[in-house]
Structure 1
Amino acid sequence: MVCFVDYRTTYPEKEKLSSLGLEIIEIPICNDLYESINGHVDIQFNILDKKSKKVIINKNINNNFKNNLKDKGITYIESKNSLKYNYPNDIILNALILEKYFIHNLKFTDENLLNDQKDKILINVKQGYTKCSCLYVSDKALITNDSGIYNSLCKYDFDILLLPPGDIILEGLNYGFIGGTGGLINNNTMAFFGDLNHYKYGNEVISFLSKYNVKPIYLKNSKLTDRGSLFVI
């Protein structure tokens, strides 16, 4: 399996991921974005379909990254629009893509992304940083810091752990989002950039993960860091 990480992911973190049997592809810097998110996975990239290994990428991402995808047998489409510094032009790919649902601020979703997902149930939310704000546990179970997302998805019978914002490191900003702190490696294992034992609401997260038989793995012994999600395909 291949995992996608921010180019600023540390060597010990990458070493731990490699020890879990994952090949690592770094998301390169995008100079069109502000520094805090210019390498975030879920800003420049999204998985359209895991089974067929199909993804969408920032149209201006470098050719080395595109060639890396081809070498790994991963097919891709490119965004129609370019990422830009200011909101909402930085969130065009930052949707939460589930098996049956596509969740985003649909007003700002990139056209190529929306066209690919149009046959799913489309759920519009106000939060444009939708994937950043949601940690996927299963197709009907999520963890989020965003009350608007929580209220919207409860109408669709999702099981959601709503946590207060804060206590997550994101360099250059006051705090990051829970969705950017990690991701599932497989159905029963979730890797975190940091340790839930150093997170104010870590016990709540651990309990919720246990409910779905998901074990947390910590890539570093520190507070949680928002690196823009960990995607595995």
Structure 2
Amino acid sequence: MKTKILRITLAGTALTALAFGAQAQEFAPEQTECIAPANPGGGWDFTCRQVGKAMQDLGLVPGTMQVTNIAGGGGGVAYAEVVNKRAEDNDLIVAASTSTATRLAQGAYPGNTMDDVRWLGTVGTDYGIIAVAADSPINTLPELMELAKSDPSSVSFAGGSAVGGWDHLKVLIAADAAGIEDARTVKYVAFDGGGEAVTQLLAGSVQAFSGDASEAKGFVDSGDIKVIAVLAPE
């Protein structure tokens, strides 16, 4: 039986609980586990913890769901670990997102395809954001992109996905919309999770952060960062 993987971008409850609940009742796992394909503090880590709590609250899993962080390769390391080593673990789900599906379609996970896992369902959506440190003199996205346009080397963006992943694409799309002739001249630094990327932002190693609303919320609430753009229709 193929391992179950959860396709999700923001923690929700209904579809997740129903899909996994059926499996939990059938196999009666002693301990359930969710793999977050990134370091602690990022969107996938947030997803696992929120989904695990929701399932526990609904009585669909016994005890507390264990969260395991396996970073690397824009989710590819975790994907390969599950498919190649844990294909018979019926008490396991994995957080994923549209970026996972995109990279699979691009052949970015050598030897692995979408058919290697069972997709349980999409239970939510998440909008991308661009943020800067709370004490940054930059207050709007046009200000940031104008700075990048005048001197691309002066602005570095940090994100929790690999080069070519969604966090990088957000930067490229924003740069293109701002009229930067070659968006690739804007520097992007990839980290193994949004939490690590924000840490580098606060340390002053980069000037901006590209991520998602869910992973940014805690840092906004703590007063560490300010969101200067939400990449949504409104």
| TM-score, normalization by structure 1 | 0.31
**Between Structure 1 and Structure 2, which shows a larger proportion of strand residues?**
1
Structure with bigger RCO (C-alpha 8 Å, 6+ apart): 2
| TM-score, normalization by structure 2 | 0.31
